Structure 1
Amino acid sequence: MASTEPPKAVTIHERCRIAPSSDGGSEQVSLPLVFFDMVWLHFHPIQRLIFYNFPCANEHFMETLVPNIKKSLSQTLKHFLPLAGNLIYPLESGNPEFRYIPGDSVSVAIAESNEASDFHYLTGDEPRDADRFYALVPALPRPEIDFESGFKRIPVFAVQVTLFRDTGICLGLTNHHAVGDGSSIVGFIKAWSAVSMLEAASELSAANFPFPFYDRSVVKDPSGLGNAFWSQMNVSRIESLPLNFPTNKVRATYTLPKNDIQKLRNLVQAKKPGLVHLSSFTITTAYVWTCLVKSAAGAGEEVDDNEPEYFVFAVDARRRLDPPVPAAYFGNCVAFGMVESTHGQLKVENGFSVAVELIGEVICKRVNNKDEILRDAESWVSKFSGLVRKRAMGVAGSPRFDLYDTEFGWGKPKKYEVVSIDGSESMSLCKSRELEGGLQIGLSLPEKKMRAFAAIFSAGLKI
C-alpha cells in the first residue's frame, strides 16, 4: 500500500528552532507577493541535499560542529528574514504575503544515519533507490490555521544536518518555492557558507557578500498579472499532488564534459548550419530531452508518433526585464519558456537537432527579448497546469548554479542532489564538480526507463 511517509533510516538527536540573531530581527517585516511568486503558490517544496566527505565522530559533531551550524545559520538568517517567517495565506479575502515577526524561526533537525555506509551509496552516480534519500530531507512544519485572524500560516524553510559517523555529513534544505527561486535560495546557501567560514561565525558585510534586495517595487506589473494570477490560484486551488512511497524510481547522475557538449554542438552545426543559439544549456537540455523520448520504447511505453512532447524551462528574468531587476533581488523572478514537438519528431535520428532548434528559437525570440519575455504571461498558470499528466520534461537548476564551492569547514561538497525532481519528470542541472565547463544532470525515473535512457545517452556520445 502506498504511503505519503518516507522511509526512516536516521536517528533524530535533536529538533530545535533557530531564529535570526537578535541584532538583525527586531522588527516585523512584510513582503507582498509579486506575480512571479504567485505562480509557485501550490508547487511542491524544493528539496536539496549537499553531501560532504568529512569523517567525524559523533562527539565532535554534536559538541563542535552543531553549535557552529546553529550560530552561523542564525547570523545568516538576519539578512534573510523571509526564510525565518511564514507565508500568510488568507482563508477568505485579501492577498497573501510573506511575514516575519520577531520570534519566528526555522525548524532544524540534527540527525545521524543508522548506516554510515549509506554515504558512499547515496553519493554515487549509478542508479540508486530514490526512496533512500528522503530520510535526509527535512519536512516543512505543518501549516497552522488562525481562524480568528482569518489566515493560514505556512512555514517556508527547514534544515536537517545528518552525520554519517566517521564518513561524512549531509546538509538537507527544503523551501517553499513561492519564497524564492533558485537564484535566491542558492544565494542564501552561499551566504550561509560564507558566514560559517568567517572566524567565530561572525557576520556578512557588503565587502564579502552582496546583501539580498527585497524592494518589490522594482518588479513592474502594469497589466495586473499579480491580481490575475491570485484569482486563478485562489479560485481553482491548483495543488501539487503528494509524493507517495515507494516512489518506484531510481536516481542517477550523468555528466556532460565540455568536450562532449562541443561534440554535440558540432553535430548540430553540421546538420543545421544556420542555427545561432547553441549554448551549453540548449545543447544539454535538448540532448537529455531527446534521449528520454527515445527511451520510451525500451521502457515498454507505447506512445503514438503524434503524441505531443513538451519541454518547459524557467529562466532568470532579472536582467531581462525592462527596467532590469537587481541581481541580488530575493524572491521569484523567473519567466518561462515552453517548447512543443511530437514523439515521432524527437525519437528519430535527427530528433536531437530538431530539439536544439526549437529550444534555441524560444530562447532567442522570447527569453532574450525584453519585449517578448512576458508576452502571454497571463496564461502561465493555466498553460502549465494543463501539462499535468502529459508528456512534459522540465528543468530544476541552471548551469549558472555552482553549489560545489559551498564550504562549511568540511571541505568542498562531494555530491549535490535535487531530491524534489522525484515529484515530476524533470532533470536537475548544475555545474560539474570536477570538470571545468562540464554540466551535471540528475534524473529520477523508473528503473527500466533509466536503463534504456543510460544506453541511449552513452551511445549518442560515441560520435
Structure 2
Amino acid sequence: MATLLETCRIPPPSGGAAELSVPLTFFDIRWLHFQPIYRLIFYDYHRSKEYFIETIVPKLKESLSLTLKHYLPLAGNLVYPLNINDDEKPVFRYVAGDSISLTIAESSNDFDGLVGNHARDADQFYDFVPELPPVKLDESNYQTVPVIALRITLFPGRGICIGYAYHHSIGDASSIVGFIRAWALITKSGGDDDLILTKQLGDSSLPILDRSVIKDPLGIDTIFWKVMKQIPLKSWSFPLPTNRVRATFNLHQADIKKLKDLVLDKKPGLVQVSSFVVTVSYVWTCFVKSGDAVGDKVDDDVLEFFGFQVDARSRIDPPVPANYFGNCLSYGMAKIEHQRLVGDEGFVIAAEAIAEDIKNRVNNKDRVLKGAENWMSDIMKYVGIRALGVAGSPKFDLASADFGWGRAKKLEVVSIDGEKYAMSLCKSTDSEGGLEVGLSLPKERMEAFAAIFAEGLRFY
C-alpha cells in the first residue's frame, strides 16, 4: 500500500523560452489514440526516510527542472483541435508557467517481492505509476492533455521506485529514455553543463526538436490526420483489476548462444540471427504453446502474428540524428500458421521469419518506410488477430540511468497489462550479456508458459 506524501508541479527554470510549439510528424500522429506507456524503475536505496525527504526529494526536483530546460515539450501539453472541417493539425505546445506533475509517495509493500522474477499480482504495481491528468476541453474547441507524469515512491530502508506515464505521441523509447538518463545524470552530477551532458550521454545527448529532419514528401502526416481527427482524445484509466500476474524470464548469454547455434545449424545461410531474433522467437513460440496448454482451441491454419517496433533513425534515407526527440518508428512483422509454430520446428521457423523480415525490409533503406502512407488503413486489417507484441529494446539501456544509487535493480513495463498481449524486453539487470523478458498473463497461462520456457531450454 502506498501513502501520498506530496503532489507538486515542476516547471523548467526561469529565463528560458517563453513559448515553444512543436508540430507532430506522421510518426507521432499514428500514436495519438494509443494507450499511455507506464514504466517503473526500481533502485536499491538504504538511507532513512528523513534523508530521502530532506535531501533526495529537493535534489530530484531541482534536477528535474534543469532537465526540462532541454526537454520543454514534456512540460507542456498536446493541443488537439476538434474542428474536423479544418485542416489544422495538433501540436505540442509549451508556454511559460507550464510544468510537469510530480508525486512523492511512501510504500510499505515488500520491495524484494516486487523486484523478484516470480509471478506476482499485476495489480499491485499500479500503486507506483502516476496517472496522466485527464483530457480537458478548452473554450476554443481544443482538447489539451499533459504528455508525461512522474511518481517517486520510497520503500523506507530498502528502495526507491521511479514511475512514469507518458503519451506515446510525444516520443518513442529512444526519446523518453534519453530524458530519464539526462535527469539521472543531472541529479548525480549536480549540474546541467551542456558539455558534460553531451559527453556522458553519447547518442542520447541533448535532444534535437527540429521536425524538419523528418522528410515527408508524400504528405503522410495529412493522410494520417484525416483519419485521426474523426476521433476525440480520450482519458485513459488503469485496467484494474487486471486478472493477471507478472513474471520475468532471463535468457543468459549461454542460453542465447545455444539458441543461435540451433537456428544456424538448421538454417546455415540465414543472416540477422541476432540475440533479439532468437529471444523473441523463443518467447513467441512458448507463448503460443502456453495457450494450447491451457485449452485454447485454435484451428491449425489460423495465423499467429508477431509484431515489433523498429527505431528508424539510422535506417531511413536521409538518416535522422540519434538524439532526435520524437517518434521515429517503423515496424517489423512475422506471421506463421498455428500448427507450424507449435510444432517441433516452431522456434526455428519463427526465427527464420523474423530474421528475413529484418533483413529484407527493416534494414533496407528502400523498403523500411515503403507503404507508410497506408499504415493507418493497414491497422484495420489486423483488428482481432492473434498476436504478440514487444515493448522496449535492449538497445536503450534504461537500467543505466544512475541517480546516484547505482544501476537499477529492476525494470517493469506496466503497460503490457493492456488488452493485447505483449512482452517487455531489456538488458538483463543481473546477467552480463543476457536479456530479460517480462510477461503479464492470467495465472494459469503464466504457469504453463514458465514450464514450457524452462523445458525448452533444457531440451535445446
Inter-partner Cα distance in structure 2 for 1:151 and 1:240:
14
Q: Which amino acid aligns with 1:267?
A: L
Report what 2:9 is aligned to: 17
Write out per-residue CA displacement over residues 23-42 of structure 1, whole angstroms, 9 at most, x where no aligned residue.
4x332111110000011001
Please say if residues 310 and 391 of structure 1, whose CA atoms lie closer than 8 Å, have aligned partners that are also in contact.
yes
Residues 1:340 and 2:335 are matched in the alignment: yes
Residues 1:83 and 2:74 are matched in the alignment: yes
Please say if residues 77 and 92 of structure 2, whose CA atoms lie closer than 8 Å, have aligned partners that are also in contact.
yes
Gaps spanning 5+ residues in structure 2: where?
none
- Taking a change above 3 Å as real, the CA distance of residues 243 and 386 of structure 1, as seen in their structure-2 partners, is farther
Report what 1:287 is aligned to: 282
Residues 1:404 and 2:399 are matched in the alignment: yes
Q: Which amino acid aligns with 1:103?
A: G
Residues 1:180 and 2:180 are matched in the alignment: no
Please say if residues 361 and 368 of structure 2, whose CA atoms lie closer than 8 Å, have aligned partners that are also in contact.
yes
Report what 1:41 is aligned to: 32
Q: Which amino acid aligns with 1:334?
A: L
Inter-partner Cα distance in structure 1 for 2:287 and 2:364:
29
Among residues 109, 117, 122, which one is paired with 1:130 in the alignment? Answer: 122
Write out per-residue CA displacement over residues 60-93 of structure 1, whole angstroms, 9 at most, x where no aligned residue.
1111111011001001011001111110100113
SS of corresponding position for 1:411: coil
Write out per-residue CA displacement over residues 336-378 of structure 1, whole angstroms, 9 at most, x where no aligned residue.
1121112111011101111111101110110111110111212
Report what 1:431 is aligned to: 427
Residues 135-154 of structure 1 correspond to what in structure 2 (within 5 A)? 135-147=127-139, 149-154=140-145
Please say if residues 12 and 65 of structure 2, whose CA atoms lie closer than 8 Å, have aligned partners that are also in contact.
yes
Q: Cα offset for 1:121?
A: 1.1
Please say if residues 421 and 443 of structure 1, whose CA atoms lie closer than 8 Å, have aligned partners that are also in contact.
yes
Inter-partner Cα distance in structure 2 for 1:241 and 1:273:
47
Q: Cα offset for 1:203?
A: 4.3
Q: Cα offset for 1:305?
A: 1.2
Please say if residues 402 and 430 of structure 1, whose CA atoms lie closer than 8 Å, have aligned partners that are also in contact.
yes
Inter-partner Cα distance in structure 1 for 2:383 and 2:246:
22
Residues 1:269 and 2:269 are matched in the alignment: no
Q: Which amino acid aligns with 1:377?
A: A
Please say if residues 194 and 204 of structure 1, whose CA atoms lie closer than 8 Å, have aligned partners that are also in contact.
no
Report what 1:58 is aligned to: 49
Residues 38-437 of structure 1 correspond to what in structure 2 (within 5 A)? 38-92=29-83, 93=86, 94-113=88-107, 115-116=108-109, 118-147=110-139, 149-199=140-190, 201-205=191-195, 206-209=198-201, 210-235=205-230, 243-423=238-418, 424-437=420-433
% identical aligned pairs: 53
Q: Cα offset for 1:390?
A: 2.0
Inter-partner Cα distance in structure 2 for 1:397 and 1:41:
19
Q: Cα offset for 1:240?
A: 9.8
SS of corresponding position for 1:318: coil
Stretch deviating more after TM superposition (157-166 or 207-216): 207-216
Among residues 440, 450, 455, which one is paired with 1:459 in the alignment? Answer: 455
Could you tell me the TM-score, scaled by structure 1's length?
0.94
Stretch deviating more after TM superposition (316-325 or 229-238): 229-238
Inter-partner Cα distance in structure 2 for 1:394 and 1:52:
27
Write out per-residue CA displacement over residues 282-320 of structure 1, whole angstroms, 9 at most, x where no aligned residue.
111111111101111212211111221111111000011
Please say if residues 82 and 232 of structure 2, whose CA atoms lie closer than 8 Å, have aligned partners that are also in contact.
no
Please say if residues 76 and 192 of structure 1, whose CA atoms lie closer than 8 Å, have aligned partners that are also in contact.
yes
Q: Which amino acid aligns with 2:316?
A: L
Please say if residues 76 and 203 of structure 1, whose CA atoms lie closer than 8 Å, have aligned partners that are also in contact.
no
SS of corresponding position for 2:286: helix
Q: Which amino acid aligns with 2:25?
A: V
SS of corresponding position for 1:461: helix
Q: Cα offset for 1:204?
A: 4.1
Inter-partner Cα distance in structure 2 for 1:241 and 1:152:
14
Inter-partner Cα distance in structure 1 for 2:261 and 2:199:
42
Please say if residues 51 and 413 of structure 1, whose CA atoms lie closer than 8 Å, have aligned partners that are also in contact.
yes
Report what 2:19 is aligned to: 28
Please say if residues 126 and 238 of structure 2, whose CA atoms lie closer than 8 Å, have aligned partners that are also in contact.
no
Stretch deviating more after TM superposition (377-386 or 425-434): 377-386
Please say if residues 67 and 192 of structure 2, whose CA atoms lie closer than 8 Å, have aligned partners that are also in contact.
no
Write out per-residue CA displacement over residues 199-235 of structure 1, whole angstroms, 9 at most, x where no aligned residue.
3x44443444421011111110011111111111223
Write out per-residue CA displacement over residues 410-456 of structure 1, whole angstroms, 9 at most, x where no aligned residue.
22211111111111311111111122221111100001111111111
Q: Which amino acid aligns with 1:134?
A: Y
Q: Which amino acid aligns with 1:105?
A: S
Q: Which amino acid aligns with 2:14?
A: S
Q: Which amino acid aligns with 2:106?
A: E
Gaps spanning 5+ residues in structure 1: where?
1-8
Inter-partner Cα distance in structure 2 for 1:203 and 1:394:
39
- Compute the RMSD of aligned alpha carbons: 1.6
SS of corresponding position for 1:235: coil
Report what 2:439 is aligned to: 443
Please say if residues 44 and 240 of structure 1, whose CA atoms lie closer than 8 Å, have aligned partners that are also in contact.
no
